[in-house]
Amino acid sequence: MAALTAFGVYAQDAEDPFADAVETRHGLMLQMASDLGTLGGMAKGEVAYDKATASKAAANVAAIASVISMAQFPAGSENGKSADSYALADIWAKQDDFLAKITDLNNAAAAMQTAAATDGDAIKASMAQLGGACSACHKAYRQPES
């Protein structure tokens, strides 16, 4: 949860009124990527399964997923309008689908919490759902990095 508060409050940028939202969502996604790296290493057998570490990483992913909302994606913060944003305008044009993908992420994160408390094989099985949720949203709503 420290990551949530660490990235939650910034001074408003006079040149880019959406800089705070973009920085917040980048911070959340970077923390999620770090925790997914921990879980992915266990799923691939590159890192020995450790219940406490896996459970903490899965709890972090679930906590981050639970706060992702339109609050981090205010209209006008898309790629090309807001510096450092990879968000595509389709987020706002297809908001119902975007929100459904956030729900899918939350469901996959909850399943990963259960898997993380079980064993490495369960994590491996759950990674497909969680990775799929991330990928589906990024394919539809995130500008690829160059």
pLDDT tens, residue by residue, 54-110: 999 999 999 999 999 999 999 999 999 998 999 999 999 999 999 999 999 999 999
| pLDDT on residue 146 | 72
Asked whether residue 82 is assigned to any structural domain, the reply reads no
CATH of the domain at 98: 1.20.120.10
Structural domain includes residue 56: yes
Is residue 4 domain-resident? Answer: no
Question: Does residue 77 lie within any of the structural domains?
Answer: no
Identify whether the C-beta of residue 140 lies closer than 8 Å to the C-beta of residue 90. Answer: yes
Range of the domain at 128: 17-68+89-141
Cβ burial of 3 (10 Å; 0-12, 13-18, 19+) is middle
The per-residue pLDDT for 15 is: 82
Whether 76 maps to a domain, the answer reads no
Q: Is 46 inside a domain boundary?
A: yes
Q: What is the pLDDT of residue 4?
A: 46
pTM for the model stands at 0.87
Residues of the chain with pLDDT > 90: what percent?
86
Helical spans, DSSP H, in 1-145 = 2-6, 19-43, 51-67, 90-93, 95-116, 120-141
> What's residue 90's pLDDT?
98
**Is residue 63 a part of any domain in this protein?**
yes
Q: Is 10 among the domain residues?
A: no
- In angstroms, the CA 75 to CA 92 distance is 7
Q: Is the pLDDT of residue 10 over 80?
A: no
The number of distinct structural domains making up the chain is 1
